Amino acid sequence: MPADCGIDEAAAVLRAGGLVAFPTETVYGLGANALDPNAAARIFEAKARPSFDPLISHLADAADLPALVGAVPPAVAALADRFWPGPLTLIVDRPAAIPPIVTSGLDTMAVRVPDEPSARALIAAAGVPVAAPSANRFGQLSPTRAEHVVAGLGGAVDVVLDGGPTRCGIESTIVDARGERPVVLRLGALPVEALVEAVGPVEVRQGSSGRPVAPGTLAAHYAPRTPLRLDAVGAHDGGRRGFLAFREPPADGDWAAVEVLSPSGDLTAAAARLFDALHRLDAAGVTEIVAEAVPDAGVGRAVNDRLRRAAATWH
Ligand code: TXA
Ligand code: MG
């Protein structure tokens, strides 16, 4: 069992090369000192994560970015200024201080400042940038509670900080704003509409097959252990089935377990509950999960993206 301790002790574990799982506003992260290649290697090992899938580095404060990477392109700085702390990850050139294992050999790095006071306090106390992917085994459901981390990674983590359920519930939006027009590499908790309002038109260029743009955006990802399908048609294998609904339970059908994401139809609330609901359905002893798509607007696009990738795992 990983230890539960205070922020200062957890920061000392990070400085000593250990792994600390901590809450952010999006999902729980599995943190290690981003300046220490051995510590970063432990993340890949604990998650069984392929070495080609680079990590996001987390800073305590937006002002720490120029100190780490030097000058940043004006559009990147503008987005950081507008949305940090927050669920936006930005792509910058990798500085020499960040070892290549963190970026999987890319000459760019992903970086963000989480909007969660305890996370920022942890990073500040550690005094180093903290590399942190979601604290789940590779390809599986993301953790939105400390219990999910313990169940998924258990003894592979030195410390788990429990901050309760995370506020956004899905991962940050990843944007490469180094070129002429910002490119969204992963849909996430910051809606595309908010980006457009701040910086004008953006391009959404998510990877889905072959060599993905953001290597973690593989076609199959975010998957429960139970087979998940997005379309109820033809989904009848006679077993106990679970249903993931957006606003209300299905009117017909024989469902052994039903989770409703948001009775009031609120997409932000639905995103916040998505992985928690999938974790519960996964634990409900059903043989199949049927998930209903949500309206494809705002953060709903990111929810549908997660559902599509979860379903793709089972095709
Ligand atoms: O909300 C989040 O972003 C959470 C919390 C913990 O901050 N972290 C997270 O990390 O979702 P992870 O490892 O599950 O996803 C990181 C994504 C991957 O898809 C990875 O390929 C992409 O970031 N990424 C990292 N560095 C990149 C780079 N230099 N260029 C493009 N994509 C990159
Ligand atoms: Mg992840």
Report the phi/psi class of residue 287: left, alpha or beta, with left for phi > 0 and alpha for psi in -120 to 50. Answer: alpha
Q: Is 209 exposed, middle or buried (0-12, 13-18, 19+ CB in 10 A)?
A: exposed
Answer yes or no: are the C-beta atoms of 2 and 150 closer than 8 Å.
yes
Given this model, what pLDDT does residue 132 score?
Answer: 98
pLDDT, tens digit, 9 for 90 and up, residues 266-293: 999 999 999 999 999 999 999 999 999 9
Instruction: Quote the DSSP letter at residue 172.
Output: P
Q: How many Å apart are CA 17 and CA 31, to the nearest integer?
A: 10
- Written out in words, the top-level CATH class of the domain with range 228-313 is alpha beta
Q: Which of the listed residues 113, 134, 173 should we mutate to test ligand 1's pocket, taking the one with most ligand atoms within 8 A of CB?
A: 134
Q: What is the CATH number of domain 7-204?
A: 3.90.870.10
CB atoms within 10 A of CB 263: 12
Given this model, what pLDDT does residue 313 score?
Answer: 75
Q: Determine which of 38-47, 150-159, 164-173, 231-240 has the lowest per-residue pLDDT on average.
A: 231-240
Mean pLDDT of 99-125: 97
- Ligand 1 neighbour 27 (Cβ under 6 A): yes
CB atoms within 10 A of CB 236: 12
Overall residue count recorded for the chain in this entry: 315
Nearest-CA residue for ligand 1 atom 31 is 214
Q: How far, in Å, are 38, 167, 310, 314 from residue 217 at the CA level?
A: 25, 22, 11, 16
The pLDDT-based confidence of 211 (bands split at 50, 70, 90) is very low
The pLDDT-based confidence of 213 (bands split at 50, 70, 90) is low
pLDDT, tens digit, 9 for 90 and up, residues 220-268: 778 899 999 997 666 565 789 999 999 999 998 889 999 999 999 999 9
- Ligand 1 neighbour 106 (Cβ under 6 A): yes
Ranges for all domains in the chain classified under CATH 3.90.870.10: 7-204
Using CA atoms of 23, 296, 178, 136 in order, give the dihedral in degrees to the nearest 10: 30
Mean pLDDT of 296-300: 97
User: Over 70: is that where the pLDDT of 216 sits?
Assistant: no
User: Over 50: is that where the pLDDT of 210 sits?
Assistant: no
Ranges for all domains in the chain classified under CATH 3.40.50.11030: 228-313
pLDDT, tens digit, 9 for 90 and up, residues 128-141: 999 999 999 999 99
| Listed residues: CB within 5 A of ion ligand 2 | 134
Q: Is 225 exposed, middle or buried (0-12, 13-18, 19+ CB in 10 A)?
A: exposed
Q: How many Å apart are CA 179 and CA 96, to the nearest integer?
A: 22
Atom of ligand 1 nearest to the CA of 109: 29
The pLDDT-based confidence of 23 (bands split at 50, 70, 90) is very high
* φ/ψ of residue 18, rounded to 5: -90, 180
CB atoms within 10 A of CB 17: 16
What would the two tokens of residue 22 be? 């901590």
Q: How far, in Å, are 40, 99, 159 from residue 37 at the CA level?
A: 5, 6, 19
Given this model, what pLDDT does residue 280 score?
Answer: 97
Q: How many Å apart are CA 133 and CA 31, to the nearest integer?
A: 7
Q: What is the pTM of this model?
A: 0.94
- Which of 84, 91, 105, 101 shows the shortest CA–CA distance to 33? 101
Given this model, what pLDDT does residue 315 score?
Answer: 60
Q: Please give the share of the chain, as a percent, with pLDDT higher than 90.
A: 85
Given this model, what pLDDT does residue 106 score?
Answer: 96
- Ligand 1 neighbour 131 (Cβ under 6 A): no
